[in-house]
Each structure stands twice: as C-alpha cells, then as structure tokens.
Amino acid sequence: MNIKQSVIEFMTVFAVALATGALVTLAWNYFGHGEMAVDWETAFSLAIMFGIVLTWTKSRKETSDEYGQR
C-alpha cells in the first residue's frame, strides 16, 4: 500500500469513526442524562485510534499477501 492509499484509508476510517463516536455520545447523553451534548474528546480519541490501527492492519495484511505469508 503506498502513502496515498494509506492517507485515503486513514481519512475514511477517521471520518466514519468520528461520526459514529459523535452520534453514540450524543445518544448516550440524551437518553442517559437528558441533555443534547457530544463528547468531542472521546469521539476524536476513538477516531484517531481506529484510524491508525485499522490502516496499519490493512497495510500489514496487504504486505503479507504480497509476499505470500499469512
């Protein structure tokens, strides 16, 4: 996987994880506490973590497939 593909993969995973984290914290705060608030710190932390880990694992999988390893 080249650098351009890695950046696109990271940004895609980051955007999906950020949106999901924001919606989940919004729903949690609304239904659990009765207020409409998004916990952006948690949403960004999850998005960065998932972006790095999932991009890295996909890169490693493609590299191992390229060399015929498991």
**What pLDDT was estimated at residue 69?**
63
Distance CA 34, CA 53 (A): 33
Burial of 21 (0-12, 13-18, 19+ CB in 10 A): buried
pTM: 0.84
Model confidence pLDDT, tens digit, residues 3-53: 999 999 999 999 999 999 999 999 999 999 999 999 999 999 999 999 999
pLDDT over threshold 90, residue 66? no
Q: What is the pLDDT of residue 42?
A: 95
pLDDT range class, residue 1, cuts 50, 70, 90: low
- Rg (C-alpha) for the chain, rounded Å, is 16
